[in-house]
Structure 1
């Protein structure tokens, strides 16, 4: 155990680089796995139903006025 600690003290820069590399590798795997899960969820999600478009109130009034002009009572 003492030899390992002495080696770490002597090669601190290597230990830090190995630890950083391991952290980045694990982070990359986690991000990749999350992207795969997101893609699966996105594919399985159904698109929402389209609502029937209703005319705005002004257009309805203009249609009534045009009908009255075409056939006055």
Structure 2
């Protein structure tokens, strides 16, 4: 079906650039959500660290933080 889309070169370039902008916007939105969620988890971890004293407790808090961070999909299917 060659010729079924009769776009000029400029129209094709504009369409391609529009798609790139759409993808870029989605990536920025994902990055913002990831950073927000990570910041919340880091604040939670810091509050827990402020309440513990032993090395074992600190290690446990860190493991829990890493586990929660790894479980987050942030809107992206795993």
Please report the TM-score for the alignment, with normalisation by the length of structure 1.
0.49
Greater C-alpha radius of gyration = 1
Please report the TM-score for the alignment, with normalisation by the length of structure 2.
0.46
Q: Which has the higher contact order (CA 8 A, sep 6+)?
A: 2
